[in-house]
Amino acid sequence: MELRQLRTFEAVVAHRTVTDAANALGLAPSSVSEQIRALEASLGVPLFHRGPKGMRPTEAGERMREWARLLLRQAEEARREVTGEQPVLRLGALESIAATHVPRVLARLSGRRPGLRVEVRSDAARDRLLDAVAAGDLEAALLLDAGEDVGGLGFPPPAAPLDFVDVEPVPLALVAAPDHRLAGAPRLAAGDLRGERLLVNVPACSFWMAGERLLGSAVERVRAGSVTVMASWAEQGLGIALLPEFAVRDRLAAGTLARLAFDAPDLGLRLVWRADREALPGMREVLYAAGA
């Protein structure tokens, strides 16, 4: 049983397919398959059920999962202790919030733990960030969510013991061109928007999901693109857009966009991590800095 086999095993558990695990590890799929077979042969038991929808751990695989986490964590701690290397904490963040919210977390963290090195990885895809947290490639990730559990906004979380803290609310604004027919209306409900064109990005987008929850089938959805593109199209009267307030604050102040009087509950800026990795060096400081 080798450490590289355990890392590969964890990646397959997190990503559910050999191909996705290979992409995450930077290996060829054949190498991933070979390492999993070698690990199963050394243990004498199958670790995965293999099916058309991917791979899921057997009972033995679930037991191996806990041991793999423990052994890999101990190996990393031993390496740092022997080499005297300062710990590096890897933090992921959605691109839409990396520029606006991450600097404040890093500033607070620097004050609490000046010697801690933090690497930030931004990504447009929430699933990639969560899979990286589940696989141990990231210690934590900042994303947008809602509800009482990870994925309450409407996305499936990976099969891992994830925990979270809501850092701060992220207000949403339903915006339109200043001359829109509903601009200036005192109060709007979803029914008042029936037939409107809602500018959206992709179904995995947090703001698409928020719109699904709030507006349902009342509006027609028009693919536009990023937050910036949606705001620009709304300015030109091409539709309405449900966007984070911080992204359109300047346009609202300048009068190029109007905020419609529609009550949209806040999303939460949520820090997500693996509950079984809270003891990693620097992890608690990140939690304190994020929640300050």
pLDDT in tens, 219-246: 999 999 889 999 999 999 999 999 999 9
Shared domain check, 274 and 251: no
Give me the CATH number covering residue 63: 1.10.10.10
pLDDT of residue 137: 80
pLDDT at 87 over 80: no
Shared domain check, 92 and 73: no
Shared domain check, 183 and 39: no
pLDDT of residue 59: 93
Domain boundary among 82, 103, 118: 82
DSSP secondary structure string for all residues of 277-289? GTTSTTHHHHHHH
Instruction: Please give the torsion angle defined by the CA atoms of residues 271, 273, 278 and 283, in that order, rounded to the nearest 10 degrees.
Output: -50
Shared domain check, 200 and 148: no
pLDDT of residue 181: 94
pLDDT of residue 171: 95
Shared domain check, 57 and 23: yes
- State the residue range of the domain holding 77: 3-82
Rounded to an integer, the average pLDDT of 186-197 is 93
Answer yes or no: are the C-beta atoms of 18 and 12 closer than 8 Å: yes
Q: How far apart, in whole angstroms, are the C-alpha atoms of residue 180 and residue 164?
A: 39
pLDDT of residue 1: 83
Rounded to an integer, the average pLDDT of 149-169 is 89
pLDDT of residue 66: 83
Rounded to an integer, the average pLDDT of 202-218 is 91
Shared domain check, 248 and 177: yes
Shared domain check, 165 and 276: yes
pLDDT of residue 289: 67
pLDDT at 292 over 60: no
- 109 to each of 102, 118, 126, 165, how far by Cα in Å? 10, 9, 23, 16
pLDDT at 159 over 90: no
Domain boundary among 82, 97, 113: 82
Shared domain check, 148 and 282: yes
Shared domain check, 280 and 238: no
How many separate domains does the chain show?
3
Most confident of 106-120, 127-141, 251-265: 251-265
Domain boundary among 24, 49, 82: 82
Q: Which of 52-56, 57-61, 112-116, 270-274 has the lowest mean pLDDT?
A: 112-116
Give me the CATH number covering residue 186: 3.40.190.10
The set of residues, in sequence order, having a beta carbon less than 8 Å from that of 221 and lying 6+ positions away, is 197, 198, 200, 208, 211
Residues of the chain with pLDDT > 90, as a percent, come to 50
Residues of the chain with pLDDT > 70, as a percent, come to 93
- Whether this prediction's pTM lies above 0.75 is answered by no
pLDDT at 88 over 60: yes
pLDDT digits (tens, 9 = 90+) for 110-127: 777 776 778 888 888 898
pLDDT at 282 over 70: no
Exposed/middle/buried for residue 252 (C-beta within 10 Å: 0-12, 13-18, 19+): middle
Shared domain check, 251 and 206: yes
Shared domain check, 112 and 165: yes
Q: What average pLDDT does the structure give for the chain?
A: 88
How many Cα neighbours within 13 Å face the side chain of 49?
A: 8
